């Protein structure tokens, strides 16, 4: 035997795996030396024995079935990589999880199967540990999702109360000087805390997987109209030109997530632009839809562009005070990832920034029909002629809201539960409006109250529903709800009075469905 053949023989005999050769009658015709350490049998003791010798008795009948199947179409294959019940039996009767690699071959006119056998104990232990770890991670993720759902409501409740009280104190303040200035400063602090809370909860929900995109046909102009209303005042305060096109595009997208993405981009543009303009442009080509948010602001240095989408990162603009905590673009990144969009940034310090959102062509459905536009209330909304039925189960929030509404000139009926609200039903008349918290005690909601009131009255009392988790609420509100507005807590008092005035005057959204304001 030459050196190469001798080496091959040694490798075969002392392979890391136990190697056996079995004929198609299930008789072992060869076994290497590794069978001694792995299976407890000397190789010579195995030759001539049935392969059943290496199987626990309980598995032999099933093994015979598998052998018959295999002989009909013998191919190289691996067994035991995923199966939890493939085990081998040692000479002493002990068992171990086995991984087996089969390789059929013919020799001298007869068919055989070579089997490489490996002890999978350690691998199975690692797999089981991974399964346990994954289950723990999923439980932790579900717990985080439950926490976020609760926090979205409960953390916003005190902020809502403070905002109501601040608005009331501004009404009550009689001196034109110091006190009003202090209250306006307090209002700015409340706005800042509310934005921070929104950002923290939004990015946590997105990263935890608590949000699943709900893809539907969306008329892009509906989103643009909301953005115009939202950013008109902030842009006007800084004398910025705000340019948003009239869109005729319909997309297959998640309306709330796309709105959130554009809100954060436009918010950043307005925040960091002191003069000039903020523009939102759109274009459709063979690649899809491009939405471009462009400003004439302070810009971003080239060496900082890669980090601007990181959480809590903010560019240092030569001593400019920090605004927010740097979560807006992190939210943009997560929303784009969920929706399958690409986001790129170009910027020149001192000249402005351009952010491009690329939406795949298959998501662009068609040119959309123009949306009928009805003018909304402008300026300070006057109190409605009718009354407000206030439904809020939190006593402190209810008291603060009642005080604000009374100072605004509204006549208010108050209830702490749906049953109490229904007791006011006989007093209600057309022109009255329901103002309700969405999340009430137990499993009841403000929407339940609205449906029960409408059933009792026999006419559609209009309603404003307030929620600390407006996105989740709108995801579970599948059916259109006429004469209804959803507002986010802590509520913007101007948006609240405008919605009440619009509903009290009999106005409704152009498509007859509920609308939402964050």
What lies within 8 Å, CB to CB, of 376 at 6+ separation is 229, 498, 502, 507
Rounded CA separation 209/206 (Å): 6
* Burial degree of 58 (CB within 10 A; 0-12, 13-18, 19+): exposed
Structure confidence at residue 244 (pLDDT): 92
Identify which has the larger pLDDT, 279 or 322.
279
The residues that bridge with 119 in the sheet, in sequence order, are 98
As a whole number of Å, the CA-based R_g of the chain is 35
Structure confidence at residue 432 (pLDDT): 92
Q: Six-digit token pair at 447?
A: 């929407």
Q: Six-digit token pair at 384?
A: 């409605």
Angle (nearest 5°) at CA 420 between 419 and 421: 90
Structure confidence at residue 368 (pLDDT): 53
Structure confidence at residue 148 (pLDDT): 59
DSSP assignment, residue 305? Answer: G
Lowest mean pLDDT among 35-44, 170-179, 481-490, 494-503: 170-179
Whether the Cβ atoms of residue 475 and residue 256 lie closer than 8 Å to each other: yes
Lowest mean pLDDT among 92-101, 170-179, 326-335, 351-360: 170-179
Which strands sit side by side in the sheet containing 515-517, from one edge to the other?
411-415, 387-391, 433-437, 463-467, 484-488, 515-517
Say yes or no to pLDDT of 113 above 70.
yes
Say yes or no to pLDDT of 334 above 50.
yes
Taking only the tens place, the pLDDT of each residue in 8-64 is 777 778 888 899 999 988 899 999 999 999 999 999 999 999 999 999 988 888 888
Strand 352-360 relative to strand 288-295: parallel, antiparallel, unpaired?
Answer: antiparallel
Longest dimension (CA), the chain: 111
Nearest to 171 by CA among 403, 345, 356, 498: 403
Question: Scanning the structure block, which residue is given the tokens 């299976």?
Answer: 39
Whether the Cβ atoms of residue 28 and residue 22 lie closer than 8 Å to each other: yes
- Mean pLDDT to the nearest integer, 492-515: 69
Nearest to 310 by CA among 293, 340, 332: 332
Rounded CA separation 457/469 (Å): 29
Question: Nearest 5°: phi and psi at 149?
Answer: -60, -40
Whether the Cβ atoms of residue 490 and residue 192 lie closer than 8 Å to each other: no
Rounded CA separation 398/157 (Å): 10
Structure confidence at residue 294 (pLDDT): 93
Say yes or no to pLDDT of 509 above 60.
no
Structure confidence at residue 122 (pLDDT): 83
Say yes or no to pLDDT of 286 above 60.
yes
Strand 77-79 relative to strand 28-31: parallel, antiparallel, unpaired?
Answer: unpaired
Nearest to 242 by CA among 250, 231, 253: 231
CA dihedral of residues 242, 159, 499, 227 (deg, nearest 10): 20
Q: Which domains are delineated in the chain?
A: 3-119 (3.30.450.20), 214-371 (3.30.565.10), 387-517 (3.40.50.2300)
Q: Cite the DSSP H helix spans in 340-467.
A: 395-407, 418-423, 446-457
DSSP assignment, residue 238? Answer: T
Rounded CA separation 516/494 (Å): 14
Say yes or no to pLDDT of 425 above 50.
yes
Whether the Cβ atoms of residue 329 and residue 264 lie closer than 8 Å to each other: yes
Structure confidence at residue 3 (pLDDT): 67
Q: What percent of the chain has pLDDT above 90?
A: 27
Whether the Cβ atoms of residue 482 and residue 515 lie closer than 8 Å to each other: no
Structure confidence at residue 438 (pLDDT): 87
Q: Six-digit token pair at 87?
A: 């085990």
**Average model confidence (pLDDT) across the chain:** 80
Say yes or no to pLDDT of 274 above 80.
yes
């Amino acid at each position: 035997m030459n050196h190469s053949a001798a080496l091959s023989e040694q490798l075969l005999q002392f392979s890391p795996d136990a190697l056996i050769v079995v004929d198609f009658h299930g008789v072992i015709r060869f076994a290497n030396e590794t069978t001694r350490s792995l299976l407890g049998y000397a190789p010579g003791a195995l030759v001539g024995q049935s392969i059943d010798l290496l199987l626990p008795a309980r598995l032999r009948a099933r093994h015979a079935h598998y052998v018959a199947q295999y002989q009909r179409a013998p191919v190289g294959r691996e067994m035991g990589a995923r199966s939890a019940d493939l085990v081998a039996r040692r000479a002493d009767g002990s068992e171990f999880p086995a991984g087996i690699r089969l390789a059929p071959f013919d020799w001298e006119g007869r068919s055989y199967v070579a089997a490489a056998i490996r002890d999978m104990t350690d691998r199975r232990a690692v797999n089981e540990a991974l399964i346990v770890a994954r289950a723990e991670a999923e439980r932790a993720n579900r717990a985080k999702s439950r926490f976020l759902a609760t926090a979205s409501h409960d953390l916003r409740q005190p902020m809502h109360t403070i905002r109501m009280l601040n608005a009331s104190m501004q009404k009550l303040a009689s001196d034109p000087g110091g006190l009003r200035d202090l209250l306006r400063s307090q209002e700015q602090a409340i706005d800042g805390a509310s934005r921070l809370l929104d950002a923290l909860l939004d990015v946590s929900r997105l990263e935890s997987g608590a949000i699943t995109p709900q893809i539907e046909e969306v008329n892009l102009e509906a989103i643009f109209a909301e953005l115009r209303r939202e950013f008109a005042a902030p842009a006007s305060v800084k004398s910025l030109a705000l340019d948003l096109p009239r869109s005729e595009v319909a997309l297959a997208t998640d309306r709330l997530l796309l709105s959130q993405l554009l809100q954060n981009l436009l918010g950043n543009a307005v925040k960091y632009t002191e003069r000039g303009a903020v523009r939102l442009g759109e274009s459709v080509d063979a690649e899809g839809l491009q939405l471009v948010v462009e400003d004439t602001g302070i810009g971003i240095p080239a060496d900082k562009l890669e980090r601007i989408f990181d959480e809590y990162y903010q560019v240092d603009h030569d001593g400019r005070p920090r605004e927010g905590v740097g979560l807006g673009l992190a939210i943009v990144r997560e929303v784009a990832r969920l929706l399958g969009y690409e986001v790129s940034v170009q910027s020149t310090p001192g000249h402005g920034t351009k952010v491009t959102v690329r939406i795949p062509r298959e998501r662009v459905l068609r040119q959309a029909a123009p949306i009928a536009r009805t003018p909304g209330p402008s300026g300070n909304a006057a109190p409605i002629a009718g009354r407000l039925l206030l439904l809020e189960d939190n006593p402190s929030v209810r008291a603060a809201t009642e005080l604000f509404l009374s100072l605004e000139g509204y006549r208010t009926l108050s209830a702490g539960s749906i049953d109490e609200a229904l007791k006011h039903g006989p007093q209600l008349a057309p022109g009255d409006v329901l103002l309700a918290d969405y999340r009430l005690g137990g499993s009841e909601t403000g929407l339940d109250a609205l449906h029960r009131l409408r059933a009792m009255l026999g006419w559609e009392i209009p309603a404003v529903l307030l929620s600390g988790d407006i996105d989740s609420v709108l995801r579970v509100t599948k059916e259109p709800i006429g004469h209804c507005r959803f507002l986010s807590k802590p509520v913007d008092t101007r948006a609240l009075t405008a919605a009440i005035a619009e509903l009290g005057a009999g106005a409704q959204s152009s498509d007859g469905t509920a609308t939402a304001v964050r």
